[in-house]
Structure 1
Amino acid sequence: MGGGNGAKSQQKRERNAKEAGKEPKSQLKSNAAAQSIQCDICKQTFQSTAKLPLLQQHVDARHSGKDFSTVFPKFVAA
């Protein structure tokens, strides 16, 4: 019959010991760098992959009465 959980536990301890020396990987810096679209009125940032409907929703909800090109003058639809 099969081995006990002792072997699995030992393997996991060894694997964790190897991984303990590595730095944790975080996406915070890359996510912050991706925030390239900015509202000129309230300065809220959006990721560079944001599409027109999302930005239009921001204009309608936060800056009603303002024109889209006034709020996001640098936005170019891809």
Structure 2
Amino acid sequence: MGNGAKAQQKRERNAKDNKTAKSQLKTNAKAMDIQCNICKSTFLKTTRAPQLVEHAANKHSKQLAECFPGYEAA
């Protein structure tokens, strides 16, 4: 058995073990449930208050409660 046959056998063994990578894009899109009432930008549900305050201040010059009235810190 030559090296070429060994390499081919190894490729075949590895092809069985390889699993296709799954994308997180659809899951992340579903998790975008915090929405700014002014510009309708969405944020992940894991987004913390400081990031939302920064968005409200920088984009709209408003307070957190004005842009995200339903937001409750976890």
Provide TM-score, normalisation by structure 2: 0.77
> Per-residue deviation at 1:11?
1.6
The C-alpha deviation readout for 1:17-52, integer Å capped at 9, x for no partner, is x267x6541111100011110001101111001101
Where in structure 1 do 4 or more consecutive aligned residues deviate above 4 Å? Answer: none
Residue ranges of structure 1 left out of the alignment (5+ in a row): none
Q: Indicate the RMSD between aligned Cα atoms, in angstroms.
A: 2.5
CA distance in 2, matches of 1:49, 1:11: 43
CA distance in 1, matches of 2:9, 2:31: 41
Q: Which amino acid aligns with 2:69?
A: P
Task: Report 1:1-78 matches (<5 A).
Answer: 7=6, 10-16=9-15, 18=16, 24-64=21-61, 66-78=62-74
Provide TM-score, normalisation by structure 1: 0.74
